[in-house]
Amino acid sequence: MKRVVIGMSGGVDSSVSAILLKQQGYEVVGLFMRNWDTSVNGDILGNPNLDHNICPQEQDYNDALAVCNKIGIPLHRVDFVKEYWDNVFEYFLSELKEGRTPNPDVMCNKYIKFDYFIREAQKLGADYIATGHYARIQDGQLLRAIDSNKDQTYFLSQLSKKQLENVLFPIGDLEKKEVRKIAEEYDLVTASKKDSTGICFIGERNFKNFLKNYLPNQPGKVINIETNEVVGEHIGLMYYTIGQRRGLDIGGTDSRMFVVGKNLEKNILYIALGEDNEYLYSDSCIIDTINFNTSERPTQCSAKFRYRAPDYPVTLEYINDHQILVKYDRIKAVTPGQACVFYDGEKCLGGGIIKTVCKNNEKLWYIL
């Protein structure tokens, strides 16, 4: 009997994944990852709005343990707090300092869930590892999930072909409603548990309150880029992203204002009026941190520039081994720091991280 070590997160997706693996005849072993120490790194201390009796991660562990006991599989626990800090959180902070909008979940998959986790699973005698991601693998190729609304291949785009070996995604062929139904049939404590949202280590906590523990607020001017008029004050450039409309809190025309850029040296946040303003658009970008999970090196494919964003046709020009120029027609709010992920139909080919955004062959200085 082949042994599968599955990452148990305390959510419904990993719970049902474990059930399906048992049904398929595998010997299933659960492994819970502790990636964040809220007592040291979190913002629960001195925060009266949070429950001090049990932190969310401990609740997740309790839920994962309850599920494993219910379906009859062992659960191990491993501590990756230092590894997470070094490989994911410090990356997150450094990107914010550079004015970019990072996606730490992409790096968590690359360095934690499909690196350190795999090593730990091998110690447990794993023939395969599994997770509750909505994705599929066919003949070694990463494919989109059947449920297009839940597809998570965007977050798996930095995984190498080697990392995808001997990996199982048991719920990739299911719709979310089917996953919930299976959990209900087994009367699991996670059956009606809400999906986790937000950044992985922040969860439901207030982003601004959390981040000020690590990066000091530096308020500055908000300037209309078209008129050079000072229209307000921002609370810190790290809290804003390109294309943002909500939460600007500037006068009575907030609904018409959009973030279009930042000047780190002068600590200025630039806005423009109108959701179809030309300052929001670009026609190319340069990406680095290149990863392909296939031998294909396409010159024509489609790309996704944000999670849940549509696919756009793109042309790829290979600058060198480390950078690619991605050309496209007019696209709104392509943002440095986000992942640019390549697709060929259902295949997810890999991608990179957006470094520079351009228009008419020139770098947009006001978009970092």
Dump pLDDT digits (tens) for 308-351.
999 999 999 999 989 999 999 999 999 999 999 999 999 999 99
Are 96 and 127 in the same domain?
Answer: yes
CATH of the domain at 326: 2.40.30.10
Residue 78 lies in a domain: yes
User: Of the residues 68, 200, 348, 358, which is catalytic?
Assistant: 200
Report pLDDT for 48.
39
Per-residue model confidence as pLDDT tens digits over 243-278: 998 878 776 555 589 999 999 999 999 999 988 999
Backbone dihedral region of 334: left (phi > 0), alpha (psi from -120 to 50 degrees) or beta?
beta
231 & 293 share domain: no
**Side chain identity, residue 302:** S
Number of residues in the chain:
368
- Work out whether the CA dihedral 114, 116, 121, 127 comes out positive or negative: positive
Residue 240 Rama label (left phi>0; alpha psi -120 to 50; beta): beta
Q: Per mean pLDDT, which range of 14-18, 24-28, 204-208 is the poorest?
A: 204-208
**Do 61 and 106 belong together in one domain?**
yes
Task: Calculate the average pLDDT of the chain.
Answer: 91
Q: Are residues 18 and 63 in the same domain?
A: yes
**Same domain for 98 and 42:** yes
- Non-local (6+) Cβ contacts of 223 within 8 A are 229, 230, 231, 268, 269, 270, 271
Query: CA 10 to CA 256: how far, in whole Å?
Result: 41
Q: What is the DSSP string of 91-153?
A: HHHHHHHTT----HHHHHIIIIIIIIHHHHHHHTT-SEEE---S-EEETTEEE--SSTTT--G
pTM, two decimal places:
0.92
Q: Alpha-carbon distance 180 to 177, whole Å?
A: 5
pLDDT in tens, 25-45: 999 999 999 998 766 555 443
Sheet holding 229-234, edge to edge: 229-234, 220-224, 268-273, 257-263
Total of domains in the chain: 3
Task: Tally the C-alpha atoms within 13 A of residue 269's C-alpha that lie toward its C-beta.
Answer: 28
Is residue 108 part of the annotated active site? The answer reads yes
Phi, psi of 117 (to 5 degrees): -65, -45
The domain of 256 spans 216-273
